[in-house]
Amino acid sequence: MRRLIAKFLADQSGATAIEYCLIAAGISIVIVVVISGIGSQLNTKYGDVNTALQ
């Protein structure tokens, strides 16, 4: 039983998967923020063009 618990505590494979998930979550948050900023800038540009054409 002690060997089984020691083996479970020494297993690092789950930690690697969690680290990759955290990295992927961080990258996705950055992508969402950047796309949101670009979207608002494009909306302003299209509004300016629309106003200029009228």
Query: For residue 32, what are its two tokens?
Result: 């969402």
What is the residue type of 5? I
Which pLDDT belongs to residue 18?
Answer: 82
Which pLDDT belongs to residue 31?
Answer: 96
Query: For residue 20, what are its two tokens?
Result: 């990759």
Q: Residues 1-52: pLDDT tens digits?
A: 888 888 877 777 667 778 889 999 999 999 999 999 898 889 999 999 999 9
Q: What is the pTM of this model?
A: 0.57
Which pLDDT belongs to residue 22?
Answer: 93
Between CA 52 and CA 38 the distance in angstroms is 21
Which pLDDT belongs to residue 30?
Answer: 96
Query: For residue 3, what are its two tokens?
Result: 């060997």
Which pLDDT belongs to residue 8?
Answer: 77
